[in-house]
């Protein structure tokens, strides 16, 4: 579980979202249907096994009285989503429309500064899945792609984990993000934010356009990494890597392998490491 810091007003009083427009939750999910559950003290979205999930997540902040704030989290997928009784009880999950079970709305209390765990998590399971979180989301989450060639796009506060497969991860690129983890496979990672890891495989990584100092790790494989703006720390890892600092005062280590390193604009510190390397200050 990932930790973050956030300060917000809160209260122990939980108000229901119920009303004439909200239907009662369905029974617990079958194995081939997506579901929302409350597990390990957190709200989880679990993708349908063996299906290609296309999840969209939007988050709004709802003020309830003077001191209470809630994240209202809406999940939309191509197939039906069942609501586990635990999610209905602890996270106020409901169907906004009784006739449409592809949309579920939940509410989790905005935590105090000392309670900084994820507000929700997503596990898409196997298959070539897609998940998109609205760019303006303020809630923290971890999204697991699972086995398959997944496409994950997160907001600035999301951690993206591609897991097995040739994944495409857009890490949000904001200063609040912890960054994506590609996992095994030939992954493409863009808008790297903070700490980013390619994992085993021939990965392509690039930093965000914000003035954010990123730590980018290619790990095993023949990786191509672009730092883009600001002072980045880039580590090629094992393999024959091609590394670009671009703008900013970058620190680049090729590590083992026959690497090619381009410093770019700025006062850079470049080290090829063991192997036959080509190093260009530019």
Q: Which residues contact 228 (CB under 8 A, 6 or more apart)?
A: 206, 207, 208, 209, 246, 247
Residue-wise pLDDT tens digits, 57-110: 999 999 887 788 999 999 999 999 999 999 999 999 999 999 999 999 999 988
Give a yes or no: residue 172 inside a domain.
yes
Give me the pLDDT at residue 45, please. 98
* pLDDT, mean over the chain: 84
Please check the confidence at residue 3 and state whether its pLDDT lies above 80.
Answer: no
Q: How confident is the model at residue 177 (pLDDT cuts 50, 70, 90)?
A: low
Q: Is the pLDDT of residue 118 over 80?
A: no
Q: How are beta strands 215-217 and 188-192 bridged, if at all?
A: unpaired
Question: In degrees rounded to 5, what are phi and psi of residue 215?
Answer: -110, 115
> Does position 7 have pLDDT exceeding 70, yes or no?
no
Cα distance between residue 216 and residue 234, in whole Å: 5
Q: Domains in the chain: how many in total?
A: 1
Residue 225 pLDDT > 50: yes
pLDDT of residue 126: 93
CA-closest candidate to residue 63, choices 10, 118, 103, 114? 10
Does residue 146 lie within any of the structural domains? no
Q: Is 237 a domain residue?
A: yes
Q: Write the secondary structure of 137-170 as one string of H (helix), E (strand) and C (coil).
A: CCCCEEEECCCCCCEEECCCCEEEECCCCCCEEE
Q: Is residue 261 part of a domain?
A: yes
Place 207 in a pLDDT band, splitting at 50, 70 and 90.
Answer: confident
Question: For residue 172, is pLDDT > 50?
Answer: yes
Is the residue at 232 inside a domain?
yes
Give the pLDDT mean for 170-185. 78
| DSSP secondary structure string for all residues of the chain | -----------S------STT-BPP-PPPPTTSEEEEEETTEEEEEPPTTS--EEEEEEEEEEETTTEEEEEEEEE-SS-EEE-HHHHHHH--BBSSTT-TTEEEEEEEPPPTT--S-SEEEE--SSS-EEEE-TT--S-EEEE--SS--EEE--TTEEEE--SS--EEE----TT----B--SS--EEEEE-SEEE--SS--EEEE-SSS---EEE--SS--EEE--SS--EEE--SS--EEE--SSS-EEE--SSS-EEE--SS--EEE--SS--EEE--
Check whether 10 has a pLDDT greater than 80.
no
Closest CA to 226 of 210, 249, 242: 242
What is the percent of the chain where pLDDT is above 70? 83
Q: Which residue has the higher pLDDT, 156 or 45?
A: 45
Q: What band does 281 get if pLDDT is binned at 50, 70 and 90? A: confident
In-domain check, residue 243: yes
**CB-based burial of residue 3 (10 Å sphere; 0-12 exposed, 13-18 middle, 19+ buried)?**
exposed
Mean pLDDT of 210-221: 85
User: Strands 278-280, 260-262: parallel, antiparallel or unpaired by DSSP?
Assistant: parallel
In a domain, 125, yes or no: no
Range of 233's domain? 166-282
Answer whether 103's CB lies under 8 Å from 96's CB: yes
Q: What is the mean pLDDT of residues 182-192?
A: 94
156 found inside a domain:
no
Q: How confident is the model at residue 278 (pLDDT cuts 50, 70, 90)?
A: confident
Q: Of 167-176, 191-200, 221-230, where does mean pLDDT reach its minimum?
A: 167-176
Tokens encoding 54: 């296309």
pLDDT score, position 175: 57
């Amino acid at each position: 579980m990932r930790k973050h810091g956030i300060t917000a007003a809160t209260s122990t009083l939980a108000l229901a979202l119920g009303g004439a427009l909200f239907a009662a939750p369905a029974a617990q999910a079958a194995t081939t249907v997506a579901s929302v559950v409350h597990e390990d003290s957190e709200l989880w979205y679990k993708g349908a096994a063996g299906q290609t999930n296309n999840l969209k997540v939007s988050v709004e902040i709802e003020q309830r009285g003077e001191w209470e704030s809630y994240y209202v989290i809406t999940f939309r997928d191509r197939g039906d989503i069942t609501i586990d009784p635990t999610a209905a009880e602890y996270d106020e999950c409901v169907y906004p429309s009784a006739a449409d079970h592809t949309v579920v709305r939940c509410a989790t209390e905005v935590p105090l500064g000392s309670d900084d765990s994820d507000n929700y998590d997503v596990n898409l399971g196997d298959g070539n899945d897609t998940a998109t979180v609205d760019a303006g989301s303020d809630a923290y989450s971890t999204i697991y792609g699972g086995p398959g060639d997944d496409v994950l796009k997160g907001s600035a506060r999301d951690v993206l984990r591609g897991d097995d497969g040739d994944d495409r991860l857009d890490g949000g690129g904001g200063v609040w993000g912890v960054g994506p983890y590609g996992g095994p496979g030939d992954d493409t990672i863009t808008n790297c934010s903070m700490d980013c890891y390619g994992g085993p495989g021939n990965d392509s990584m690039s930093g965000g356009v914000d003035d954010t100092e990123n730590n980018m790790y290619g790990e095993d494989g023949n990786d191509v990494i672009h730092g883009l703006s600001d002072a980045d720390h880039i580590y090629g890892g094992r393999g024959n890597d091609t590394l670009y600092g671009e703008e900013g005062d970058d620190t680049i280590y090729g590590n083992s392998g026959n690497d090619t390193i381009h410093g770019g604009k700025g006062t850079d510190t470049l080290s090829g490491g063991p192997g036959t390397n080509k190093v260009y200050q530019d």
